[in-house]
A and B are shown apart, each in its own frame.
Chain A
Amino acid sequence: MSALAEILFGGLFQGSLYAMMAVGLALVWTTIGVFNFSHGVFMMLGAYIAWQLVELGLPAAVAFPIAVVVMAGVGWILQASVVRPLIGRPNIVLVVVITTLAAGSLIENGALTVWGPRSKQIPALIAGNTTIGGVGVSLHQIAIIVITPLILAALWMFLNRTRLGLALRAVAQNEDAGHLVGLNVTALYGLAFAIAASLAGLAGIFMGGYRFMSPVMGSDPLLKALIVVVFGGISSISGPIFAAYLIGFFEAACSYYFGLYWTPALLFGVLILTLMVRPEGIFASRSRGLA
């Protein structure tokens, strides 16, 4: 019983973090058609900004939302500086991989210079621990497991029930037609990046309350988010959400039965198998669309 509870809980927790990360990657891909390799750095920066605000004396309940809003601005600026000028050029996907990697490296080293290499931790969303099914868990982790589906549901509502969300879904399908019906495509691209950066920043805050933070803390989650979007398919946002939880459970089970060292190898085994059998991802449709 405790083995099952441990895998279930570990899977839900990891799946929540991966879902928050992967949805942002998918949102940017479906709207702009580029892959943002600075997404992991967004996660780190969100956590550090939250930590800094708490250090300045702000209560966590104020500091965390501010950090998320600041991350939206960071996402917008990054899009305007290293993605937007390249739109319409040949090989944009490859070029943006390079520019976002470069921007990520700059931000990561900037964080190292400003905040130093020493590990830091931000306050938990809820302090304390409890026991579920014989497994000791922190209330912070439970809060993440509960909050994440609510945030993802809110994102789904935004995309499917508001006119701005409809505009984002439209521009994801046909950029030229978007211009012709009066959509400000440039602003919508900025919005997609801003939302993605906010979600990544929030994932960073979640993680910073659970593990020690460092300027390279976003690298591993970015890698996992990449596995998730390849596994689930990146042409929609619902595919990566389901895939995130499946990968979370798979990782938790692998860690439990085979140990932590084998887990990455097994994850990449799943990735390679997916690419061989269903390269568009197991939940993907063949066309891009935010649903």
Chain B
Amino acid sequence: MALLELDDVSKAFGSLKAVDGVSFKVEAGEIFGIAGPNGSGKSTLFNIITGIPFGPDRGQIRFDGLAINGKSGHAIARLGLARTFQRETSFDGLTVFENALIGASYGKQEKTAVAARDAAAEALEFVGLGSASFGRLAGELSVFERKCLMLATAIAMKPRMLLLDEPASSLTKPEIETSIGLIRRTAERGITILLIEHVLTFLMSLSQHLLVLNNGRVLAAGDPAGVIADPRVIEAYLGTRRSAA
């Protein structure tokens, strides 16, 4: 059974169909990539799945066989579905350690304070934020460190599935390389990963399955190599060649 299953999911804002009849399945243990140009509905799709700040207008979302439409955001998170944002950290005014501790305390809800602190420290060390940075305010971190902190906060929740929203955006090439390694090692912990990115090379190096969105609809889905060779995908990304007048 698929860990996450979307069936004919739609979301409209007035006359704009941000997500339009999207269906796909993510199997447990895989890295599933979602690509698409800016404004194609990728982040809206993440909002719909996590229920924050809104769910779908139509369609079914099932996590581990359980329908999660209409469930509150924190209830979905506690089922084991974590999410990171593109840029901002979760809680800028809290320290690095407190950010991860929140994840450890309220995601999987570690029973004791000691267990939560251990889980937070382990997650931070895992992403490369050593104990020297524990006391720094999250708002003072660099973009790359913020992304690492968001990942650590999510990992501290001990999720079954992690939704990563454009982890490569605003990063330098070496930082992107580090991110790729980090995401691979995160998947090796047994966490299923759903990844949004518009940088196709980043997705190609990580994903076992790839889905491309355009104007809120699924343009192509399947094996990554096959998907990027699809002429409709090439057209969505690069446009069509104008015939000479």
Contacting pair B83 A180 (CB below 8 A) = yes
Give the number of chain A interface residues (Cβ < 8 Å).
21
A179→B73 contact, CB < 8 A: yes
Q: What are 11 sample pairs from A and B whose C-beta atoms fall under 8 A apart?
A: A163-B105, A163-B116, A170-B94, A173-B91, A174-B88, A177-B90, A179-B52, A180-B73, A181-B90, A181-B107, A291-B93
Point out the residue from A166, A185, A287 that lies within 8 Å of B102, measured CB to CB: A166
B109/A182 in contact, CB under 8 A: yes
**Complex formed: what's the CA distance from A173 to B93 in Å?**
7
Q: In the complex the two chains form, what is the Cα distance from A176 to B107 in whole Å?
A: 14
Q: A173-B91, A174-B90, A179-B52 are in contact. Are A166 and B98 (CB under 8 A)?
A: yes
Least CB distance from A124 to B in Å reads: 39
Question: Could you tell me the dominant secondary structure of chain A's interface residues?
Answer: helix
- In addition to A169-B98, A180-B77, A180-B90, 5 A-B residue pairs with Cβ atoms within 8 Å of each other are A166-B98, A169-B94, A170-B90, A170-B98, A183-B102
- Once bound together, how far apart are the Cα atoms of A170 and B153, in whole Å? 13
B82 within 8 A of A: yes
Which residues of chain B come closer than 8 Å to A81, judged between CB atoms? none
Contact of A179 among B74, B92, B94, B113 (CB under 8 A): B74
Contact B72 A183 (CB under 8 A): no
Query: What is the minimal beta-carbon distance from B101 to any residue of chain A, in angstroms?
Result: 6
Q: Is A184 an interface residue (CB 8 A)?
A: yes
1/0 contact string of A175-207 vs chain B (CB within 8 Å): 011111111111000000000000000000000
Known A163-B113, A163-B116; contact A181-B102, beta-carbon cutoff 8 A: yes
Binary interface encoding of chain B residues 39-56 relative to chain A, with 1 for a CB under 8 A from any of its CBs, else 0: 000000000001111000
- The reply to whether the CB of B33 lies closer than 8 angstroms to some CB of chain A is no
Does B98 lie within 8 Å of A181, measured CB to CB? Answer: no
Tell whether A173 pairs with B92 under 8 Å between CB atoms, given A166-B102, A179-B74.
yes
Asked if A217 is an interface residue, CB under 8 A from chain B, the answer is no
Contact of A166 among B52, B72, B82, B105 (CB under 8 A): B105
Q: Quick check: is A167 within 8 A (CB to CB) of the other chain? A: yes
User: Could you say which residues of chain B place their CB within 8 Å of the CB of A184?
Assistant: 72, 74
With A and B bound together, what is the CA distance between A215 and B85 in angstroms?
50
Q: Are the CB atoms of A289 and B93 closer together than 8 Å?
A: yes
The total of chain B residues at the interface (CB under 8 A) is 30
Residue B78 at the chain A interface, CB threshold 8 Å: yes
Report the bound CA distance from A185 to B92 in whole Å: 18
Choose among A170, A174, A177, A183 the residue with the greatest number of B CB atoms under 10 Å from its CB: A177
- Which residues from 124 to 183 on chain A have a C-beta closer than 8 Å to any C-beta of chain B? 163, 166-167, 169-170, 173-174, 176-183
Residues from chain A with a CB closer than 8 A to the CB of B237 are none
B102–A180 CB distance below 8 A:
no
Give the chain B neighbours of A169 by CB distance below 8 A. 91, 93-94, 98
A167 to B51, CA, bound (A): 20
Contact assessment for B90 and A287 in the assembled complex, using a CB-CB cutoff below 8 Å = no
* Beta-carbon contact of B52 and A167 below 8 Å: no
Among A163, A173, A180, A183, the residue within 8 A (CB) of B94 is: A173
Complex-state Cα separation, A179 to B55, whole angstroms: 13
**Contact residues in B for A185 (Cβ distance below 8 Å):** 73-74
Bound-state CA distance A217–B88 (Å) is: 45
Q: How far is the CB of A291 from chain B (nearest CB, A)?
A: 7
Query: Inside 8 A of B157's CB, which chain A residues have their CB?
Result: 181-182
Q: How far is the CB of A169 from chain B (nearest CB, A)?
A: 7
Task: Give every chain A residue within 8 A of B52 (Cβ-Cβ).
Answer: 176, 179-180
A1 to B233, CA, bound (A): 85
Evaluate contact between B50 and A180: CB separation under 8 angstroms. yes
Interface contact B105-A167, CB-CB below 8 Å: yes
CB distance from B45 to the nearest CB of A (A): 15
In the bound complex, what is the Cα–Cα distance between A168 and B202 (angstroms)?
Answer: 37
Q: B50 — nearest CB in chain A belongs to which residue?
A: A180
Find A170's partner among B72, B88, B91 (CB 8 Å cutoff).
Answer: B91
